[in-house]
Amino acid sequence: MKIGVCAPPQFWAAVKGKGFDYVEWNFSVIANYTEEQMAQYLAQKDELGLKVLSCNGFFPGGFFMFGEDRAQIEAWTREYARAGFARAAQFGADVAVMGSGYARNIPEGMDIAEAKERFAALMRILGEEGENAGVRVAIEPLQQKETNFLHTLQEGAEICDMVAHPYVGLTLDIFHFWAGGEPLENIEKYKHYVFHAHLARPQADRKAPTEADTEMCLVYRDAMRKIGYDNKISLEPVYGDFITDITGAYPVMKHFR
């Protein structure tokens, strides 16, 4: 399994020197780079010999999935995704995490069945455009304080069943999984949908793990090994001091390899 770090370009050199295999960077930022910025950061990546294998932060701030004009939202999503996936692929990414808690908040008064159907339709668009670029979409269940919709692997799997597209699956975020109180067996139950993984320590502070957290993290490592997961896991905590955090997390994340 490859271990990586969610990090912006100003920290890429530091990540490279700490033993990690790749970085994960923000999809919405990449999608809105100018051509000059694309050239700059692609060159930076190449000069460092660094891999940008995944993206998070899918939709830009202010975007709302459940606005009144559904046709306009779907058309905009397709155009945005097509351009964004092409750019993510240029960086070498093969998976994009679809978290975007604000964007997927269900408005008051909307029926849950309607929200699921509309969300699934948008995810199907992402699957189609992602497949064209060779980038899979990994829906991320989030803790309840971040969104009012889709908090568990079980709920995410229901959406994946509705979408029924091979390029749409799930992110196993260990912090959110813990926060949602899901039983560990759900990792095995929905293993065929797990495309990607995130790690922050499974505690309320959501900090980067240190060696003191190894035992609690290895519970999830073992569950992932049980299902044969051997793709990528990205460090995605609430950072304090970035260098201190990734340095302290590396001995824990090495166990996931």
166 with 124: CB under 8 angstroms? Answer: no
* CB-count exposure of residue 44 (10 Å: 0-12, 13-18, 19+): middle
* DSSP E strand stretches across 112-251: 136-139, 168-173, 194-199, 232-235
* CB-count exposure of residue 50 (10 Å: 0-12, 13-18, 19+): buried
**Adjacent-strand bridge partners of 22:** 4
- Say what the pTM is: 0.96
Six token digits for residue 151: 């908090």
CA 209 to chain centre: 18
- The per-residue pLDDT string of the chain (257 residues; one tens digit each, 9 = 90 and over) reads 999 999 999 999 999 889 999 999 999 999 999 999 999 999 999 999 999 999 999 999 999 999 999 999 999 999 999 999 999 999 999 999 999 999 999 999 999 999 999 999 999 999 999 999 999 999 999 999 999 999 999 999 999 999 999 999 999 999 999 999 999 999 999 999 999 999 999 999 999 999 999 999 999 999 999 999 999 999 999 999 999 999 999 999 999 99
53 with 92: CB under 8 angstroms? Answer: yes
What distance in Å separates the CA atoms of residue 151 and residue 155, rounded to the nearest whole number?
7
What distance in Å separates the CA atoms of residue 237 and residue 249, rounded to the nearest whole number?
10
**Adjacent-strand bridge partners of 168:** 137
3 state SS of 44: helix
